[in-house]
Amino acid sequence: MPVEVTWWGHATCTIEDSGVRVLTDPLFVRRFAHLRRRRGAVPPPEAAAAALVLVSHLHSDHLHLPSLARLTSGSRLLVPAGAVRAVPGLRVLRRVRALHITEVEAGDEVKVGDLRVRAVPARHDGRRLPVGPHRSPALGYVVEGEARTYFAGDTGLFDGMAEAIGPVDVALLPVGGWGPWLGHNHLDATRAAEALTRLGPRSAVPVHYGTYWPIGMDGIRPHEFHAPGEEFVRHAARLAPEVTVHRLEHGERVRPTW
């Protein structure tokens, strides 16, 4: 099979292609800030082993320093341009954990083994919140080996999306969030299905939903936590019936075929 995808929860996935393991936006904790993990076990230690780690943007549920500290010493890390200046803790990890950190912007390409990884634009606020100027753009990534796998990170729909990302075989798309309301420049289940019509992948995996939820808010719009995956399956069948959707459970893996 050309590629294998494991969804660990939220935006954390392992992509295995051409003998290379790639990890996305690692988040390996049961609780952080005002959020707690309500579904799925914390990823096991082996999830932190990867030849390449992709960070899509600087929000703390995507660039999470304690989770990055669990990476295998010497791991290679791709982050948006300006990230090291905006998040000083990255400099500490580079020194203490010997992480090889490379800053990239849309259009940059990096080779790891037989894989080519290309940074692509995303429509999302890339700042390190709650403070700091807008120093780093949000990114997505296309991992190209035997297959072409698009990891969107966080993004909304944007003009020229298909041209910027290019042809893909598998799309890992956010379909929800970690709270009862999605802000601007996110994909919900409907907009993620619309993204399928623009990108035309052969397979899709919904991510970024049903994992973390604010403490004390279990009773507020709970369908926004539970429903996005199933809603994406339904909207995708209506808007892009030619795309095979794999709705994974936490820790489940799939080998898309076509």
Instruction: Express each pLDDT in 61-113 by its tens digit.
Output: 999 999 999 999 999 999 999 999 999 999 999 998 899 999 999 999 999 99
The answer for residues whose C-beta is within 8 angstroms of residue 232's C-beta and 6 or more apart is: 173, 175, 189, 192, 193, 206, 245, 247
Per-residue model confidence (pLDDT) at position 132: 62
The C-alpha atoms of residue 230 and residue 169 are separated, in whole angstroms, by 21
Q: What is the mean pLDDT of the chain?
A: 94
CA gap 126, 141 in Å, rounded: 15
Residue 215 has pLDDT above 60, yes or no: yes
Number of H helices, E strands in the chain: 7, 17
pLDDT of amino acid 2: 87
pLDDT at position 130 over 80: no
Quote the Cα angle for 137-104-45, to 5°.
95
pLDDT confidence of residue 151: 98
Mean pLDDT calculated for residue range 27-43: 95
What pLDDT does residue 128 have? Answer: 79
Q: What is the pLDDT of residue 138?
A: 96
How high is the pLDDT of residue 206?
Answer: 98
Over range 246-254, report the average pLDDT: 98
Q: Which pLDDT value is given to residue 76?
A: 97
Reported as a single tens digit per residue, the pLDDT across 155-194 is 999 999 999 999 999 999 999 999 887 877 899 999 999 9
pLDDT of residue 1 exceeding 60, the answer is no
Return the pLDDT at 12: 98
pLDDT of 134 strictly over 60: no
